[in-house]
Amino acid sequence: MSLLGFERGVSTLAQQIGFARELGRVVEAAVASGAVGDPVLRDRLVRQWAELRSMRWNALRTLGRAGDAGAPSVAKLLWGGWHQRLGELAMQVRGPRLRSGRWTGRRR
């Protein structure tokens, strides 16, 4: 596996632990604010969780494989778009309050 392959593939397994924590904080904020009652937002939360699982499966399938040269690039595309959507979802959960300052993900 090349350095780029490691950087964009298997190494994202550790990165996904952080992503899972971030998603957990967004879910906690949605529950605390009552935003989780919105079925569209709930669907987006579930979709984020499912996509995170898909990214994990994609990274795991690259372990020990030298023949799938495109998998690392797919991983980069997956996590880049996923993280952007998570940020957009966090903004939807927090609403205008998020735009007025730094959000730590903690309840006040």
- 1 three-class SS: coil
Instruction: Please report, as a single letter, which amino acid is at residue 80.
Output: G
- The full DSSP string for 75-95 is HHHHHHHHHHHHHHHHHHHHT
* Catalytic (active site) residue 88: no
Residue in 7, 22, 28, 88 annotated catalytic: 7
Instruction: Please report, as a single letter, which amino acid is at residue 87.
Output: G
CA angle (17 as vertex; 14, 21 as ends), nearest 5: 155
Known catalytic residues are 7
